[in-house]
Structure 1
Amino acid sequence: MTFKELQISEPILKALTNKKYDKPTPIQGQAIPVALAGRDLLGIAQTGTGKTAAFAIPIIQQLCQSKSERKREIKALILTPTRELAIQIDECFTDYAKYTNLRNTVIFGGVNQRPQVDKIKQGTDILVATPGRLLDLIAQKHISLANICHFVLDEADRMLDMGFIHDIKRILPMLPKQKQTLFFSATMPNAIASLSKSMLQNPARVEVAPVSSAAETVDQHLYFVEKPQKSDLLITLLNQQKDKSVLVFSRTKHGADKLARILNKKGIGCEAIHGNKAQNARQRALTNFKSGKTRVIIATDIAARGIDIANLELVINYDLPDMAETYVHRIGRTGRAGNNGTALTFCSPEEKAMVREIQKLTGKKLNTLSVPA
């Protein structure tokens, strides 16, 4: 299948060709025709599956085809949990709408609002926003949602993790009843399933099947270790791998913070990122990690979705995840773009059942290594 076969209009096709995008990803192939038909959509997909294009392309195309003669006003709203995601989504809209006359703007907290307000006043068709800054600018009468035709709620489960569900429930009544809603989440906990039902009208459900085979370019190894000895093993391994960028997965926010304190005391520079960290603190930690200023980052599963680093060499599962599919997504952070990567997993006695689940899902036996003396 090609983008042309999805009935994408020429200006967008030209932009995609320039970016060397030739074939749609599975989520794009399923979601674009549904969205172009004007239906509401429930999309279940991880970051990195190409879902931004799955909603951006149909929105751009529909806005270009709209015969409205109204002055330039916000017709599409994309709500996303973090500054870094908002910036990435806005950049995608800029790329795909390059050969159209549409304007897009991004707003987020943690920075001076004046440049953002000035841009909105110049007129914008598509607004990408984080919830807090959006509510602030609505309260100050800088933004009206009265003319929204397309609404996207992105990373809904991460919104829940970061405590934004209350903000979303404040925003929803401000939107027109007649609109297209596209709802995306990587997982569907009860609170998110309930929210989706309240927002969507007869939606099409589009799901990218969880990846069952781990990346072939990732060497996977397993250490059987008692829980109290995990931090000592981590320190030993990090001292052996001093030239590598390392992403360490913790199951809980508290565990991530505790581990960061232990490592920093041992002279291993690291930062923790999770939903309780302020947005600018997470952004700073990611910037430091990408630039090499910080060598080790400790993350919870949801916070790690913002990490997309081409040459990440080592992932360590300090704690095993609650679901086998999550393990596959974790180790997929390394071994990207044809590069080789390594994934090391620490397994305490109570976590052995999850290792069996992982091996069953991937069809691959993890290579057991001896714990260094």
Structure 2
Amino acid sequence: MFDFEMLGLAPALNDALSRIGFSQPTPIQNQAVPLALEGHDVLGLAQTGTGKTLAFGLPLVDHLLAEPGRPAPKTSKALILAPTRELVNQIADSLRTLTEDTKLRVTTVVGGQSINRQINALARGTDILVATPGRLIDLMDRRDVDLGQVRHLVLDEADQMLDLGFIHALRKIAARLGTPRQTMLFSATMPKQMEELSRAYLTNPRRVQVAPPGKAADKITQSVLFMDKPAKPGRLREILSRDLDALTLVFARTKHGAEKLMKGLVADGYNAASIHGNKSQGQRDRAIKAFRDGTVKVLVATDVAARGIDIPDVAYVINYDLPAVPDNYVHRIGRTARAGREGEAIAFCAPDEADLLRQIQKLMKVEIPVAGGTSPLAGDADGADRRQGRPGGRNRKPGGGAAGKPAAPGRSRRRRSRGRKAA
């Protein structure tokens, strides 16, 4: 199949796709949408930034358009669960674009916002409820939502929900859902625990996998810089200063570390903001909007943002601290090179993070090219010839460039030709 019209979607959906400029489905959409339209449960595995939201959103909206009747008060016909507030809002925005010219209603339920406002919205009933598990449980306990009419369930980024300890909440929610129902589970990684989850929630699912779990998008150029921890602040500023107009996402491991790093950058004159768990929802929304608009150029974040930022113009992802969970590295760097664009991911690795890097490379089945410093990993002391490899066929000449000079990370190449918007 080569265009959306060949997928057999409702005319209203084809019109919506044309309005927003989408004509050809991505590989995950091309494979998952027909199966979901037929009513199958679907287990979808694809890299971040490849269109998973439309892969489940299109067939979901198509089914609801064909179902007669308005939802009863406090009920919903479909439920989408996601691990973070940012991801919930992103999914809801995409679905509202698809349902703009229909009578379908999309409602969000997340923590950090007025629960009374959410209660009032649910009192009218909704066609699609997009929620984080924690706040949904709160509303269930208060009997302000009835999930017995749900006939479509989507678990997006289910692996992170497991990482965040939502498994008991998922079980409690599932027990309240209507049957029979269609369930779709989508993610970029497939840890063993999620396989067990899929067996518990999916019935005879069709598995759709467009890339090996843990593989980064082909258009992401990766590199790692080895350094002592005290050298990280100076190296970060050096890289940022090479292209002050680029949108750069910097990941720190802790909330305190992210805030401290952001304040230091602002004090040094960089246009930076931060998002993490200690920020209110309003603060997080404003920071992401400013970053999306280009009024903030550097966004410092913890992993709370790794699966909730869908901004096509992010040029660089810098792993200031390596994540403790290897899967999170894949999701972090997936914030760049979205929607077919190119991007660059630079990792800082201090001596005490060497094992984290080793686990990341084992997961991805690739050795990240070294752009500076000396690798402490076993067997890497004389492995320069192996460092030239780039994932996804983006190999460079040995040494990274002309005259055998080392490849310098970021900021001096191709980016300006992309014509990224500044506002």
TM-score > 0.5 by shorter chain: yes
The answer as to whether partners of 2:42 and 2:208 remain within 8 angstroms in 1 is: yes
Aligned to 1:16: 17
Give the deviation of 1:281 after TM superposition: 5.4
Distance change >3 Å, CA 282–CA 13, structure 1 → 2: same
**Which whole-Å deviations, capped at 9, do the CAs of 1:117-162 have from their partners, x for residues lacking one?**
3332223222112222222222222211111111111111222233
Structure 2: which 5+ residue stretches go unaligned?
369-388, 401-405, 410-423
Aligned to 1:42: 43
TM value normalised by structure 2: 0.72
Give the Cα separation in 2 of the matches to 1:48 and 1:312: 12
The answer as to whether partners of 1:273 and 1:303 remain within 8 angstroms in 2 is: yes
Question: Which AA in structure 1 matches 2:263?
Answer: N
Question: Which AA in structure 2 matches 1:258?
Answer: G
The answer as to whether partners of 1:162 and 1:276 remain within 8 angstroms in 2 is: no
Aligned to 1:314: 316
Give the deviation of 1:293 after TM superposition: 5.7
Distance change >3 Å, CA 74–CA 39, structure 1 → 2: same
SS of residue matched to 2:306: helix
**Which whole-Å deviations, capped at 9, do the CAs of 1:159-214 have from their partners, x for residues lacking one?**
22333333222211111242111111221223222222111111111112156664
- Count how many residue pairs are aligned between Structure 1 and Structure 2: 366
Give the deviation of 1:325 after TM superposition: 9.5
Give the Cα separation in 2 of the matches to 1:83 and 1:151: 18
Aligned to 2:392: 362
Give the deviation of 1:114 after TM superposition: 3.1
What RMSD in Å do the two structures reach over aligned CA positions?
3.6
Give the deviation of 1:310 after TM superposition: 3.6
Give the Cα separation in 1 of the matches to 2:199 and 2:343: 40
Distance change >3 Å, CA 326–CA 292, structure 1 → 2: same
- Which 10-residue stretch deviates more, 81-90 or 148-157? 81-90
Aligned to 1:101: 103
Percent identical among aligned pairs is 43
Aligned to 2:165: 163
Give the deviation of 1:96 after TM superposition: 2.0
**Which whole-Å deviations, capped at 9, do the CAs of 1:1-48 have from their partners, x for residues lacking one?**
222221112222222222222111111111111111111111112442
Aligned with residue 92 of structure 1, among 91, 94, 98: 94
Give the Cα separation in 2 of the matches to 1:98 and 1:115: 22
The answer as to whether partners of 1:231 and 1:259 remain within 8 angstroms in 2 is: no
Give the Cα separation in 2 of the matches to 1:86 and 1:19: 20
Question: Which AA in structure 1 matches 2:40?
Answer: R
Aligned to 1:123: 125
Give the Cα separation in 2 of the matches to 1:328 and 1:178: 35
SS of residue matched to 1:101: coil
Show the 5 A alignment for 1:124-143. 124-143=126-145
Give the Cα separation in 2 of the matches to 1:11 and 1:342: 37
Question: Which AA in structure 2 matches 1:24?
Answer: P
Give the Cα separation in 2 of the matches to 1:370 and 1:95: 41
Structure 1: which 5+ residue stretches go unaligned?
none
- Which 10-residue stretch deviates more, 64-73 or 21-30? 64-73
Give the Cα separation in 2 of the matches to 1:103 and 1:369: 51
**Which whole-Å deviations, capped at 9, do the CAs of 1:75-99 have from their partners, x for residues lacking one?**
1111122222222222222222334
